[in-house]
Amino acid sequence: MKESKPFETFETRGGGLFLKEILQKNHIRVKEPAATWEDAIRRAGSVLAEAGSIKPEYIDYMIESVREYGPYVVISPMLAIAHAAPGKGVIRNDMSLITLSSPVNFGSENDPVSVVLCFGSIDPTSHIDRLTRIAELLSKESRISDLACAGTVDEVITVLNR
């Protein structure tokens, strides 16, 4: 039997943090069905709740924060960053990435959204390195539309590692 790893992980090229240090493979989901933006946030959040990284109420906090501050979480065409205040409802720093089978509207000028990056952080600063690194990986040209088109988790990883 092969030596078991706590999580299935993957490598990426380049300097800085490895992708596997930021985003576990089993925290990526593709073509998730979501009818509304709330649904999309719930689906991304459930990945972290199932992993035991957040309490289920953190998902509600993420949705409430969009209701309170507006759809600014859609920071770029097709991409929403879902999170709530650091600490409350968070068990450990963690991140998930989902793509949607059909895009949903958040009411933002960057609608419709096909990719949701979700994270919880235990404090205001300890997640910054990892979030900065994923931001670098996501901000390369056409990255988000390529992610939205990916049919499998492996394709998502290939796009991020490209």
Q: CA–CA distance from 11 to each of 6, 78, 96 (Å)?
A: 15, 26, 17
Which is nearer to other proteins, 132 or 152 (by Cβ)? 132
Instruction: Kindly state the DSSP code that residue 102 receives in the 8-state scheme.
Output: E
**Number of Cβ atoms within 10 Å of the Cβ of 92:** 14
Nearer to other proteins, 43 or 71 (CB): 71
Q: Which residue has the tokens 């990986």?
A: 137
Nearer to other proteins, 9 or 112 (CB): 112
Alpha-carbon span 30 to 71, nearest angstrom: 22
Least Cβ distance, residue 70 to other proteins (angstroms) = 4
CB of 129 to other proteins, least distance (A): 10
SS3 (DSSP) at 39: helix
Tell me how far, at minimum, the Cβ of 43 lies from other proteins, in Å.
Answer: 18
Q: How far is the CB of 9 from other proteins (least distance, A)?
A: 24
Contact 80, 144 (CB under 8 A): no
Which residues contribute to the site for other proteins (CB under 8 A)?
65, 68-73, 75-77, 79, 81, 83-86, 108-110, 119, 121, 124-125, 127-128, 131-132, 135-136, 138-139, 144
Nearer to other proteins, 23 or 81 (CB): 81
Our CB check for other proteins shows the closer of 37 and 119 to be: 119
* DSSP-derived 3-state class of residue 120: strand
Other CB atoms closer than 10 Å to residue 79's CB: what's the count?
A: 21
Name the minimum Å distance from CB 140 to other proteins.
Answer: 9
